[in-house]
């Protein structure tokens, strides 16, 4: 049997690691994981036999690193059967910068992944699943995200968000939340807009609140304590999820042929609630054109 090759970012912890554990059950799957720090790979290397795992360096916030990673994947000569654009962080402020000078949340959660997809597109199998990881925070009118301080109205334009958090006059922590929600809106605009431009199966996945992952790592001590203790006990019973549960769904999205391109799926495998603005082709195309220009494709 020919092995299937899957590229994934952010597989050292949380959702990405859980997805790899689930994918490891398919003995024909080979994982190519983009890894920022080799010191964080111990758990991942235990999740799947070593002859079915390739680790390559990748800082997805750094466009130079993305180019080097993509070049190594292409040089391997493998056709890629699925791409999981999973790495992501939420920062406690909105004024951090990527190596190329972009707002760091937007650069990490969207722009680097946009470039990665574009560079790998020629070696992706026809109709290969390309999954972005969004979040209920992109539509706080529909979810509990409001309780965590997320708000509506954070999408300005890709051109503006690449430079600054939606409102740089707000306190740092709100800027951080706004930048995160905006980047997760970009993940949906990308998945819903790209089917007009390319033949792959773009899907935006909403994994639900998964307390205990590394996502809150730059938050205050109180936030981190809550995220790793109380939230872990309570949220899965209040409409939230766990990395294990959502990882299984992500693994299925990456391995199930024939899913509808441009769809938005949540961790219950139902149709989620993307923000209505993400259906606007003009906003989708502004994101795609701006991302092409910023990554100089
Ligand atoms: N947790 C939630 O409740 C939740 C809800 C909705 C959506 N999500 C989304 O789910 C995805 C996974 O997050 P998680 O909750 O599993 O958090 P996590 O445990 O912190 O995992 C994030 C992963 O992304 C990697 N990463 C971060 N920045 C990177 C960079 N610049 N270059 C390369 N890798 C980088 C991390 O690698 P390192 O080991 O190097 O740090 C880690 O492997 C994210 O897109 C997040 O936005 C999470």
Kindly report, residue by residue over 43-92, the tens digit of the pLDDT: 999 999 999 999 999 999 999 999 999 999 999 999 999 999 999 999 99
- Ligand 1 midpoint to CA 14 (Å): 7
Point out the ligand 1 atom lying closest to the alpha carbon of residue 183: 47
Sheet architecture: strand order including 29-35: 53-57, 29-35, 4-9, 82-85, 129-133, 201-206, 263-266
- Ligand 1 midpoint to CA 49 (Å): 23
Task: State the Cα–Cα distance between residues 46 and 59, nearest whole angstrom.
Answer: 22
* Partners of 131 in beta bridges: 84, 203
188 lines ligand 1 (CB under 6 A): no
Residue 218, pLDDT score: 87
Pick from 57, 118, 50, 60: nearest CA to 89: 60
Residue 1, pLDDT score: 72
Distances (CA, A) of 148 to 22, 61, 62, 93: 30, 25, 29, 15
Point out the ligand 1 atom lying closest to the alpha carbon of residue 109: 45
Residue 272 has pLDDT above 90, yes or no: no
- Tokens 């409001």 correspond to 146
* Partners of 205 in beta bridges: 133, 265
Residues 100-112: tens digit of each pLDDT: 999 999 999 999 9
The residue whose C-alpha atom lies closest to atom 5 belonging to ligand 1 is: 209
Mean pLDDT of 273-291: 97
Pocket test for ligand 1, best of 39, 56, 88 (most atoms within 8 A of CB): 88
- Ligand 1 midpoint to CA 285 (Å): 26
116 lines ligand 1 (CB under 6 A): no
Total residues found in the chain within this entry:
297
């Amino acid at each position: 049997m020919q092995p299937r090759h899957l590229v994934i970012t952010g597989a050292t912890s949380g959702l990405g690691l859980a997805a790899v554990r689930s994918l490891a059950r398919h003995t024909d799957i080979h994982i190519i994981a983009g890894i920022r720090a080799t010191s964080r790979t111990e758990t991942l290397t235990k999740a799947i036999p070593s002859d079915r795992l390739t680790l390559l360096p990748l800082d997805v916030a750094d466009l130079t690193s993305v180019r080097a990673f993509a070049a190594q994947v292409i040089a391997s000569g493998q056709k890629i059967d699925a791409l999981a654009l999973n790495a992501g962080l939420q920062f406690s402020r909105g004024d951090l910068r990527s190596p190329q000078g972009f707002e760091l949340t937007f650069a990490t959660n969207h722009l680097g992944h946009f470039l990665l997809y574009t560079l790998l597109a020629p070696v992706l199998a026809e109709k290969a699943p390309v999954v972005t990881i969004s979040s209920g925070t992109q539509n706080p009118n529909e979810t509990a995200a409001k309780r965590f301080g997320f708000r509506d109205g954070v999408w300005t334009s890709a051109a503006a968000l690449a430079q600054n958090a939606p409102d740089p006059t707000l306190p740092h922590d709100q800027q951080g939340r706004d930048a995160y929600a905006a980047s997760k809106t970009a993940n949906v605009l990308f998945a819903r807009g790209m089917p007009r431009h390319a033949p792959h199966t773009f899907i935006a996945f909403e994994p639900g609140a998964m307390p205990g992952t590394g996502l809150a790592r730059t938050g205050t001590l109180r936030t981190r304590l809550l995220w790793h203790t109380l939230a872990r006990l309570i949220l899965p019973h209040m409409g939230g999820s766990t990395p294990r549960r959502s990882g299984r769904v992500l693994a299925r999205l990456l391995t199930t042929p024939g899913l509808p391109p441009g769809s938005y799926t949540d961790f219950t495998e139902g149709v989620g609630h993307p923000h209505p603005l993400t259906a606007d082709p003009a906003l989708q195309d502004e994101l795609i054109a701006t991302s092409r220009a910023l990554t100089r494709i």
